[in-house]
Amino acid sequence: MGRLFVVNLEGKIYSCKYCKTHLALCEDVVSKSSTVSMGKLILFNKVVNVTIGEKEERQMTTGMHAVADLFCVGCGSLVGWKYETAHEKSQKYKEGKSVLERFKFTWSRWKPLTGSIMEHTSQEVMLMIA
């Protein structure tokens, strides 16, 4: 399979709820208005640190779509899916975009440690490590 490299993001980020691996930036949010029986969904232009499962046809509330599940590279948890193809003309804007399920991630502000560790407050260090 090869070596996996984890991308660390800076700014307001969404992270895996289970292992804290960075998944997306707040600035890449397209929509927060979707919900399913399990809870809220957030549509992103771009996500990182995920592996993509097999493409399959799935009937969604907005019609038939070809989607592929997304798994966190840190812990293997199912975190959402990617829209490969939308069959409804009104849903074409979703193609190539990814959905993360709200109950499977957290968000925080993150910045890399720079200089001496003594330059940061303990709260900043805990936030950066988490």
User: Per residue of the chain (130 residues), what is the pLDDT tens digit?
Assistant: 556 678 989 889 999 999 999 999 999 999 877 655 556 889 999 999 999 999 999 998 888 999 999 999 999 999 999 999 999 999 999 999 999 987 777 766 655 545 444 444 444 434 444 3
Give pTM, 2 decimals: 0.76
**What domain count does the chain have?**
1
CA distance 113 to 87: 45
Burial of 118 (0-12, 13-18, 19+ CB in 10 A): exposed
Domain boundaries, position 61: 13-107
Q: Is residue 92 situated within a structural domain? A: yes
Q: Is residue 97 situated within a structural domain? A: yes
Residue type, 108: S
* Torsion, Cα of 118, 20, 47, 122 (10° steps): -20
CA distance 81 to 42: 11
Q: Is residue 64 situated within a structural domain? A: yes
Q: Is residue 65 situated within a structural domain? A: yes
Q: Is residue 7 situated within a structural domain? A: no
129 token code pair: 């490590």
Q: Is residue 126 situated within a structural domain? A: no
CATH at residue 24: 2.170.150.20
Q: Is residue 93 situated within a structural domain? A: yes
In this prediction, residue 109 carries a pLDDT of: 62
Strands 22-25 and 11-16: antiparallel
- Which whole-number Å values give the CA distances from 56 to 43, 51, 89, in the listed order? 19, 15, 19
CA distance 90 to 63: 10
Q: Is residue 127 situated within a structural domain? A: no
8-state DSSP, 45: S
